[in-house]
Amino acid sequence: MAKSTHTQTRNGSVVSNETVVKDIEYILSKEFVDYGYLKVTYWLRQQKDYIINPKKVYRLMREQGLLNKVVPRKKNQRNWVKELVPPAEDAFDYLEFDIKYFYVAGKNRNALSLTIIDVKSRWVLGHYTAWTIKKEDVIELFDQLFEAYSLPKSFYVRNDNGSQFVAEKVQQYFEDKGITQEFCKPATPEQNAHIESYHSIQEKVICQRNEFASLEQLRETLNRFVSFYNFNRIHSGVGYTSPYKYLLNMDLDMNQFELDQALDCQSNQVYFFN
């Protein structure tokens, strides 16, 4: 049997390239999966125990037309960001948060979703989705985080200059909590790169694949996505594993926080996931 026609597994058995291709097609068919050949390679190694290199995966995906298409990249007193990349040393000592718009075709209007992400692990701590988001909603979401998680006594948060974030009430809230709030300089999304990257993923695997009839349908989809993202999505920024497994390797089991049910805020739409 020619080596180029099969793939070895860790237990010494072999499978045909046709089987490998079927496995690749399987993972790429899953909701929210947008993997290129490198992440597919890690998935095949981790989930199928294949001994396979990226070069071969690239070739198989190219032959079957499974490679991703290259998409060109789109080029008051505040504590401005001093470092381009947040110097996160431990989990949850540096958070980023921002708002993304989602078009709800059934209502012919945009909904907004506020998300908070941990820089170190890329874990999404929670999100809030509604037709409008006000400064009070930002505070409410962070209040829910303090109830749900064992957060450090002091940590940093980074955000852009949205009106909800620069509001005096929000700045005072963070100050009272002992949280250092940093503002990105105008027109510098790279200073909030982790949440921007997260939103880019959402654009690709949610916005470009779905049309929403209602706000409720959007919320349900975002729920499924965040659960997948936290527990299953392979992420290059955390060593080609999921945020959950990355934190588990740091002896942080997110299951301990019992986040399996939505924690209700005033509008009943703040979500945390287990």
The CATH classification number of 94-271 equals 3.30.420.10
3-state secondary structure 74-96: CCCCCCECCCCCCCCCCCCCEEE
What is the pLDDT at residue 267?
42
Task: Please give the Cα distance from 263 to 155 (Å, whole number).
Answer: 22
Task: Please give the Cα distance from 232 to 124 (Å, whole number).
Answer: 13
What is the pLDDT at residue 262?
37
What is the pLDDT at residue 258?
55
Question: In this structure, are residues 90 and 151 in contact, taking their beta carbons and an 8 Å threshold?
Answer: no
Burial of 229 from C-beta contacts in 10 A (0-12 / 13-18 / 19+): buried
Q: What is the pTM of this model?
A: 0.78
Q: Which residues of the chain have pLDDT under 50?
A: 1, 73-75, 260-274
Q: Where are the beta strands (DSSP E) in the chain?
A: 6-9, 14-16, 50-51, 94-104, 109-118, 124-130, 156-159, 180-183, 270-271
What is the pLDDT at residue 192?
80
What is the pLDDT at residue 266?
36
Burial of 189 from C-beta contacts in 10 A (0-12 / 13-18 / 19+): middle
Which residue ranges make up each domain of the chain?
A: 3-63, 94-271
What is the pLDDT at residue 188?
76
